[in-house]
């Protein structure tokens, strides 16, 4: 066990894999799930705040990332497998229940765990990605239909070894471009130069990094030392495991047939930024915070933060922490 800025690291065996946990505090358990291409480090602004509020806050490297195990097979990255990891952490730490919160892909992990193990998850929240319910066709088929004539990053990530090679050729540049292209500043730039980013107007055969704008300076929320740490983590993990989460989506659809029409029963929250590109993947006339309410039984908080992009908890930590504490106080 090691210490990093008062955060304890430990390795636990859960659901057949070894996972690295970053934890602080004591009390009821809160598990924080990160997304792509992230790390436990994405929750660095939330861990001490949750601990000070009387909780044991645990952020972990999702399988495939950082210092957690990195299975090779695509089927090792289904939502069923990843939800099993969350429950395995709860078991290993000796708890009966936990609150689970996720950002980006961590949102579906948290939500799928709440749906699949309702007796183990007392409350759930997500940032950026809400519970939309099971789509009528596999998600990747939906993207193929919507983006048949132009680029979409999730379809590009299906190209095994090709997607990895592009990203890993210069991890520092790839991570910098990814993080700064879809924060608030990057999204405002894309309104002027729409060829960059996750969707853009690139052709369907374009690469992920092609056309992305490289800012000369760092945004306020993301500094060189943050990038240094993330590069060190992806030097350990590579990109196959992270990309396999996208590649497993069709397996998810078939494995979740029993959850068709299921809604989130636990007390829940959803927070997004008004510039988050996730809300633009499918054209909608309704505000996303209004749309998601139909998929929850007890949606206590639904907030859209002004001038915030995709990296919600890092771009606007004070606002996010305020809403997290307000949510926890209502449980």
Look at phi and psi of residue 27 and say left if phi exceeds 0, alpha if psi is from -120 to 50, else beta: left
What is the pTM for the complete model shown? 0.96
Averaged pLDDT, 194-217: 84
Q: Is 21 helix (H, G, I), strand (E, B) or coil?
A: strand
Q: pLDDT-derived band of residue 197, with 50, 70 and 90 as boundaries?
A: low
Reported as a single tens digit per residue, the pLDDT across 55-100 is 999 999 999 999 999 999 999 999 999 999 999 999 999 999 999 9
Q: Distance (Å, rounded) from C-alpha 6 to C-alpha 52?
A: 12
Instruction: Name the one residue in this structure whose structure tokens are 């809604």.
Output: 263
Burial of 315 (0-12, 13-18, 19+ CB in 10 A): buried
Is residue 224 predicted with pLDDT exceeding 60? yes
Helices (H), the chain: 47-52, 79-92, 106-116, 139-146, 153-156, 162-168, 171-181, 184-192, 224-237, 240-247, 249-255, 288-291, 312-315, 317-329
Q: How far apart are CA 240 and CA 153, in angstroms?
A: 15
List the structure tokens of 22. Answer: 């970053």
pLDDT above 70 covers a percentage of the chain that reads 94
Active site residues: 104, 310
pLDDT tens-digit profile of 9-19?
999 999 999 99
Q: Which domains does the chain have, with CATH numbers?
A: 2-329 (3.40.50.1820)
Q: 83's torsion region: left (phi>0), alpha (psi -120 to 50) or beta?
A: alpha
- The model's confidence at residue 280, banded by pLDDT at 50, 70 and 90, is confident
Asked whether the predicted pLDDT for residue 277 surpasses 60, the reply is yes
Instruction: Give the pLDDT confidence of 233-250 residue by residue, as tens digits.
Output: 999 999 999 999 999 999
């Amino acid at each position: 066990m090691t210490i990093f800025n008062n955060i304890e690291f430990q390795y636990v065996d859960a659901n057949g894999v070894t996972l690295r946990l970053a934890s602080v505090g004591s009390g009821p358990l809160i598990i924080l799930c990160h997304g792509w291409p992230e790390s436990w480090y994405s929750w660095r602004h939330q861990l001490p705040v949750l601990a000070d509020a009387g909780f044991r806050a645990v952020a972990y490297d999702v399988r495939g990332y950082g210092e957690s195990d990195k299975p090779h097979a695509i089927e090792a990255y289904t939502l069923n497998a990843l939800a099993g990891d969350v429950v395995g952490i709860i078991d290993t730490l000796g708890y009966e229940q936990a609150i689970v919160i996720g950002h980006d892909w961590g949102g579906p992990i948290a939500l799928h765990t709440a749906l699949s193990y309702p007796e183990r998850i007392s409350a759930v929240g997500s940032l950026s990605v809400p519970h939309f319910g099971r789509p009528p066709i596999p998600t990747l088929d939906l993207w193929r239909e919507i983006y048949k004539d132009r680029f979409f990053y999730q379809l590009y990530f299906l190209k095994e070894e090709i997607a990895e090679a592009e990203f890993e050729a210069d991890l520092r540049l790839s991570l910098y471009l990814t993080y700064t292209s879809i924060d608030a500043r990057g999204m405002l730039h894309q309104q002027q130069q729409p060829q960059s980013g996750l969707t853009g107007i690139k052709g369907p055969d374009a690469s992920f990094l092609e056309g992305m704008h490289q800012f000369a300076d760092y945004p306020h929320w993301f500094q060189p030392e943050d990038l240094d740490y993330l590069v060190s983590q992806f030097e350990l993990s590579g990109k196959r495991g992270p990309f396999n989460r996208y590649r497993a989506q069709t397996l998810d659809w078939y494995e979740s047939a029993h959850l068709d029409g299921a809604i989130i029963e636990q007390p829940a929250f959803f927070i997004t930024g008004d510039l988050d590109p996730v809300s633009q993947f499918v054209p909608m006339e309704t505000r996303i915070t209004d749309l998601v309410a139909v998929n929850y039984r007890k949606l206590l908080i639904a907030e859209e933060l002004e001038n915030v992009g995709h990296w919600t908890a890092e771009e606007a930590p004070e606002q996010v922490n305020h809403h997290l504490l307000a949510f926890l106080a209502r449980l």
